[in-house]
Structures are given as C-alpha cells and as structure tokens.
Amino acid sequence: MDIIQKLAAEFKLRTPQVEHTVALIDEGNTIPFIARYRKEATGGLSDTTLRDLDERLKYLRNLQERKEEVVRLIEEQGKLTDELKEQIMAAEVLQRVEDLYKPFKQKKATRASKAKEKGLEPLAMIIYAQLLTGGTPEDEAAAFVDEEKGVATPEEALSGAQDIIAEMIADDAEIIKKVREATLRNGIIATEAADPEEKTVYDMYYDRQEALAKIPDHRVLAINRGEKEKKLKVRLSLDSEKMCALIAKDVIRHEKSIFAPLLQETVADAYKRLIAPSVEREMRSMLTERAEAAAVKIFARNTESLLMTPPVRDKKVISIDPGYRTGCKVAVLDGTGKLRAYTTIYPTQPKNDIAGSEAALKKIIEKYGADVIVIGNGTASRETEEMVANFLRKNAYDIQYTIVNEAGASVYSASKLAAEEYPDLDVTTRGAMSLGRRLQDPLAELVKIDPRSIGVGQYQHDVDQKLLAGALTNVVEDCVNRVGVDLNTASPSLLSYIAGINSGVAKNIVAYREEHGKFADRRQLLKVPKLGDKAFNQCAGFLRITGGEEPLDATAVHPESYAAARAMMQKLAVDPEAIGKGGDKTIEEKIKKAYKGKNLTESIGRMADELGVGQLTLADIVEELKKPARDPREDAPPVVFRNDVKSFEDLKLDMELTGTVRNVVDFGAFVDIGVKNDGLVHISQMSDKYIKHPLDVVSVGDTVRVKIISLDAEKMKVGLTMKL
C-alpha cells in the first residue's frame, strides 16, 4: 500500500503536498509550527487538516506494520498462501487483517481443539466437503470411534466434528464480514428497565427499540451510561433464522449430501454460540467508538470556541463566586488581573444579608472603581445576580455585569498550580479570582484547568479519557499558538502549550525571566536551560516581546524570515517604528504600486520572487506588518453584558429574547437567557433548512435571538426556537 497516494486521495490533496507534509511531521515538527511557518510545503493546510492527516498517517502505518506482522506469523506456521498474503496486504482496515488472521491465531482450549485432539478433524473435513449422497453420517463416523481417545460412539464423533466445523465457520473472514454487514443493516438495539418501578433519568429508554444503523451518538452514550449504572438492560435484537440462512448459503453447497442436515445444525450452533455474541460485542464497541469520537469532536469544538472568546482588556473587575451557607466570595482585580482586595458577602440563604452585601459592594466600588461585575454560573448564581442587578439599578452606577461559566474553577483553585501561584490565598479566593480573569483573558486562565473540567460537551466523563485528553490538548495547543503569547508575562501553564515547549522548559523560561529580568530579544531564549535550537525554531514565532530590541519580535514573523521582512520594509520605505505603533496600514497599497500586479496576490507573488521567499510566507509577513500580532479572537462575538435579570415566572410563550450559547450538543444548543436554567434550542428549531449538526449553525459564545416555544414549570425547562 502506498500510504502517500492513499492520503492524497482521501484528503483530495496533491501528492507532493502530502509528501512534504509527511516529511515535516517525520522530522519532528509540531503541527502549529507546520501550519503557520511551512505553508509553502503544505500548500497552506490548516492546523485542523494537518492533525487529521497526522492521525490518519499513524493509523495507516500501524495497519501496514500489523499486516507485515500477521504475514510473518502465518508464514512461520507454514500455512501462508499467495492468495492469503494478497488478501492480507489488500486489507484497508485493521478489523479485516484480524479476521484473516483469526483461523491461525493460537487459541485457548475450545470444544473444537479438544475434538481435534481426539482425531476428529479428518471427519470434520469429510462432512464439510459434502460429497457423499448415500448412507448415513453415522456410517462415516463409525471409523472414528476410539474409546481410548474418548470417542465412544459415532454420535460422539459427529458431535466433535460439528464443533470443529462450527469454529471453522466462525473463523471464516468472508462469512464474518457478511454477518457483520447484515447485523449493522438489520440489527435493533433494544433497551428495557432493570426495575420498571424505579423512576430515573432513563425513563425514555425503559421500553425502546432503535435501528442499529440509525441510533444517534448521544443516545448510544446515554444507554451505555444507563447500563453501567445498572438502570437499563441492553441487547442486540436480530432475526437469527435469517442470519443462519445467510451463513448456510456459504456453508451448504450440496443440499443432497447426507451431511446437509448436520451442517444446518452446525450453522445454527456456530451462529448462536460463537458468532452472534462476538458480533454483538463488536457492534456495541463500534457504536461506542463512533459515539465517543463524535462526542470528543463536539467537546473539542466547544472548547475551542470558549478558549477563543474575546478578552475584555483593561477593565477593573469585581468577581463574585456565588454560594449559600459559606457566602459569596468576592475578588477585586485591576485591569491587568492583579488582586487588589477580597471579601465575603452573604446575600443568599440562610443569612439573606442584602443590605450588608450592597454596602460591601459600594465600599469596594468607591475605593477601587469597577467597570464590570462578573458572577459565576454555579450554585446560588441567579440569586446573586438578582442582588447585583437591583444594586446597580438603585445606585445608577455605570457598571455592567456578566455571567461566566465556572466549570473547573474549583478544580483549579484547589490544584497544586494554584497553590504555587497564590500560596497566601485560600481556595475560595483563588476561585473567585479565576472567574474574573476568565473574563479578562479566557485563554490565559482556562489553560490552567484540565480541559476535561471545562464542561462544554456531552457525556465527557463517559468517553475514552485518553482520547478526550489528547484531542483537547491539541485544541488548546492550536488556540494558544494561533493567538501567541507575551513572553514576558505568560504563565508556565500558557507557555507549556507553545509549540516545542514542554512544562519543564516553560518553568525554566519563567525562572530565567525572574532571575535576569524581561526578555529583550527572542534569541535570549537559547540561554534558557533545555531550550535548544530545535525547540527555538518551533516556538520563537509564537512568543512575542513588546518594546524589545528587535521590533519584529513583537509580531508573528518567524526569526528565519527577518531578513526577508527587513528587505521588504526597506524596499517599501516602511518605518520599523511603525510596528510598535499599530503597523503600517498602507503597506498593501505600497506593494501594488511598486509591483503593479493585476491584484494584490500577483503583486506579492512578484515581490516574493524578487526577495527569494515563499509567496504564502510573504503574505503572512505583510499581514503582520499591516496589523502586528493581530488577535484572531477579535473575530469572535463580543461578550454579552447584562443590566437586568429575569425569573422563570417572567417568561411567557412567544417572548423574544437575546441569549448566549453556553453549550452545543448533538441534539441542539443550550442558551443562557437570564433565568436559572439555560433554554434548549433543539436542532429542529435552528433553521428552516436541513442541518446536519448544530455546530454548523452555532458555537459556544455566540449571541443569538430566540423565541420561547415551550415552558415546563415543574422541571424548569424552557424550549426555544431560532426560527423567528
């Protein structure tokens, strides 16, 4: 198998494009580095496409290695034929390779292996050949009676031979392939209650049947959880007679043979005892793997949207972590996120000290000032929000408030990292600080938390945790490198996600910074312990230095391209000082005027040829000089601020509201509309057009206009539509 050609076909890319990309991966380059600084080699492939290609490359290489291993193992047994080798080498999935290898795999003692030990394999071959039309099976079996070997009668001989044939059928790769396909096509997943009298969240699955081929991924994960919690019984339902008939077509070739009835029995035994349980496990496993992969993909997309929420810079923040008995923790942060003060207020049950809470807030605002109040969305959030909204109305302050997702804040505040960062603060104060900083710079704060704890997915605790952790680490890495970080202020957590830098090197960078002062030049990174030339090459372009010795260090231009950037600036009379003053907005016009192409792309192409640099690389340099270190988060929807709050009782059918998307799942999106529980926009209510998945329409953080279409006061559920 030519892996390069296969990848090119699957991803619809040119062969040289794939060759160059694979070579870069094999050289140990990171995906963010390849995506940003090797565009000429990859043809401008995105980080997402590069990760997909890398994952597929690993699978195909693993497949190739397994094929070669299986061929070797069968050859060592002296059973490899040219036809079998060709089938193995032509296999496109690991499952097919394992199916072909199954008859040759060393097995534990089975009924078939015991029958072979009794010398019954020749009889099995006679029966399977089906050539005899006269006499009886017992007549043929009589010759294999041997009491010393444990075969006392012809019937026992036939029974042992049937066991051997049943295993042959179950090991036949072509038969298993047909059974698997038919099961997937016609199988039914049936669920029922373990205890029909018990009320659980799995009520809808108490007596349900759904086609195996059509069951949605989120329902697969739901029934898996219900089964694991022993609330549901799950089975695969199938017409066994039809499946036996399907197998019999391949097994019974001579219906007039005296062995045909015997083989019919053997087929039924092989299916019921060996094939059906195995295929059912495979189908359940396949559904689970598919559902987990989809859930991980959704979680990753949601996490990316959350991480790429625009920062609210230079705002003084009062951050409140709501609670009941222990009160609401308040942290006061300046515009850089530095803690100025902290306290506790008790506006909620059991104290309900509204007056004292308002007095505390007034004192804080008068002493430190405030632009925004941040409230966590957890326990007691709505009661706290109501107090804040009433307080702001009474005092006519020019202050807005917003709700932030506090998922993972408690995990961070109690972590070793938080203790190292703020050793003198208690856990609750650290948590309140984290909420405020999530508004000021979501990316920098959220990287401190295990991505699995961020809480913007579906069934994230039920999926393969290794798969989830890997996918989310990739997402965080891509986001951090897309935005870039300030080398002189970034935390070790943030630095550890930069291409080429691990947690140890990140700590070394911060230690070097603390000992020697701010970095003045990117080349100083080479003085950091354990950060060599290779790591420098990977990370340098993603680390920014503002006000350093080299103006280009403040941009995403890689040091390897400085010569080309300087040559371009000199040719176009671009003042290097402009980089630190917002860039040169006229640079594109200067290029068009100097190189007179039909359009900007052609002009940049001509300049690239002259400077001896790639056109895509030069285009990126132009963008950087036009708007240095542009933050891609600026393209995302802005944070929604509120100055009012609604109770569930305020809501009415057909009421139109503006809300913020908090989570996106397979079946819809949850939207914060200002009441305690988020409303649900079902996928069917997102558009008049067909939608394959909610993520095609909305992302976490989006601001959407919705209308209420259903209200369930008992369960506090709100149904919404975006079809206004």
Q: In this predicted model, what pLDDT tens digit does every residue of 376-393 receive, in sequence order?
A: 988 898 899 989 999 998
More confident of the two residues 644 and 580: 580
Predicted confidence band of residue 339 (pLDDT cuts 50, 70, 90): very high
Alpha-carbon distance values, 17 to 1, 402, 601, 604, 617 (Å): 18, 46, 21, 22, 16
Q: What is the pLDDT of residue 454?
A: 79
> Average pLDDT in the 536-542 region?
97
Q: What is the pLDDT of residue 399?
A: 93
Q: What is the pLDDT of residue 226?
A: 95
Predicted confidence band of residue 406 (pLDDT cuts 50, 70, 90): confident
Please give the Cα distance from 489 to 485 (Å, whole number): 8
pLDDT(420) > 90:
no
Positive or negative, the Cα torsion across 106, 111, 115, 120?
negative
Classify residue 146 by its DSSP letter.
Answer: B
pLDDT(644) > 70:
no
**Least reliable range by pLDDT among 27-41, 142-156, 442-456, 540-554:** 442-456
Q: What is the pLDDT of residue 646?
A: 66
The pLDDT mean for the chain works out to 93
Could you give the domains of the chain? 3-104 (1.10.10.650), 111-295 (1.10.3500.10), 317-440 (3.30.420.140), 494-635 (1.10.150.310), 648-721 (2.40.50.140)
Q: In this predicted model, what pLDDT tens digit does every residue of 264-306 receive, in sequence order?
A: 999 999 999 999 999 999 999 999 999 999 999 998 999 899 8
More confident of the two residues 457 and 234: 234
Query: Are residues 240 and 271 in contact, defined by beta-carbon separation less than 8 angstroms?
Result: yes
Supply the pTM of this predicted model.
Answer: 0.85
Please give the Cα distance from 206 to 223 (Å, whole number): 10
Longest CA–CA span in the chain (Å) reads 107
Predicted confidence band of residue 643 (pLDDT cuts 50, 70, 90): low
**Least reliable range by pLDDT among 65-79, 461-475, 511-525:** 461-475
> Average pLDDT in the 570-577 region?
91
Classify residue 135 by its DSSP letter.
Answer: S
Predicted confidence band of residue 675 (pLDDT cuts 50, 70, 90): confident
